[in-house]
Amino acid sequence: MGTTRHFRVWRGDDEGGSLNDFDVEVNEGEVVLDIIHRLQATQAPDLAVRWNCKAGKCGSCSAEINGRPRLLCMTRMSTFTETETITVTPVRAFPVIRDLVTDVSYNYEKAREMPAFAPPADLAPGEYRMQQVDVERSQEFRKCIECFLCQNTCHVVRDHEENKENFSGPRMFIRAAELDMHPLDARDDRKEHAHSDQGLGYCNITKCCTEVCPEHIKITDNAIIPMKERVVDRKYDPVTWLGRKIFRR
């Protein structure tokens, strides 16, 4: 037997919008995406939401729930109190298309700017076997589902649209770190590129990206700080020095 809960859902488009109030039935075991689907089925058939897997694996259903960047399909209704109003808004760092759907092109543009994996030119297929230790080193980064919650959360772009041009963001930093660790990647300037072209220097290791990652990738500790450290071997960076003192767990 379900109970009725109060929701506020942002509705609008690129010209503006507002929070709309809904009372919706909630049943045991449901997640916020179930409630959004029930809203579509009963009260708001044209409510726009992007989703695909409902299993935390496609990275499509990113939104903000009570102001926190979350996956709609992985946020259980049981995490809220019975009387709590649940507010669902689109992710803030990307432009709204409609309702809960945003335009995430920024992330794809930054991905395209990343120099591709480059194996040695004279290596024929089958000539190289990767060691298990090399596979495992970057395995953590390959868990990324491209939900872009880390990109949305990072304060460098969250309230500073003007930084987007020069800042690729945490998702791209883990990709750079992954390639940097790849024994077959012939480019040896991944870290320099991250500094000079991807804006790694803008990151002051606040760790907000790590905190919201649904795959629990240690973005800051395992990708960003090592990338900074290796660049800093040649260039003193006070942010990294402080970060090591304060944050390292």
Q: Which residues contact 184 (CB under 8 A, 6 or more apart)?
A: 117, 119, 120, 123, 128, 130
Residues 164, 157: Cα–Cα separation, whole Å: 6
x-or-dash string of contact with ligand FES, 4-43, rule CB under 6 A:
----------------------------------------
Instruction: With H, G, I as helix, E, B as strand and everything else as coil, classify residue 10.
Output: strand
Q: Which residues contact 162 (CB under 8 A, 6 or more apart)?
A: none
x-or-dash string of contact with ligand SF4, 157-186, rule CB under 6 A:
-------------xx--x------------
Please say whether the beta carbons of 115 and 173 come within 8 A.
no
Please say whether the beta carbons of 205 and 240 come within 8 A.
yes
Within positions 64 to 83, which residues make up the interface with ligand FES, using CB under 6 A? 71, 73
CB of 2 to ligand SF4, least distance (A): 31
Is 61 one of the binding residues for ligand FES (CB under 6 A)?
yes
Closest CA to 148 of 178, 177, 168: 168
- Amino acid at site 87: T
- The torsion angles phi and psi of 174, rounded to 5 degrees, stand at -70, -30
Within positions 124 to 153, which residues make up the interface with ligand F3S, using CB under 6 A? 153
Report what 96 binds from ligand SF4, ligand F3S, ligand FES, none; CB cut-off 5-8 Å by kind: none
Report what 58 binds from ligand FES, ligand SF4, ligand F3S, none; CB cut-off 5-8 Å by kind: ligand FES
Burial of 105 by CB count in 10 Å (0-12 exposed, 13-18 middle, 19+ buried)? exposed
Is 59 one of the binding residues for ligand FES (CB under 6 A)?
yes
Instruction: With H, G, I as helix, E, B as strand and everything else as coil, classify residue 7.
Output: strand
Residue from 72, 88, 91, 150 touching ligand SF4 (CB under 6 A): that is 150
Given the rule CB under 6 A, which residues bind ligand FES? 51-54, 56-61, 71, 73
Given the rule CB under 6 A, which residues bind ligand SF4? 144-150, 170-171, 174, 212-215, 217, 219
Given the rule CB under 6 A, which residues bind ligand F3S? 153-154, 156, 170, 203-209, 220, 224
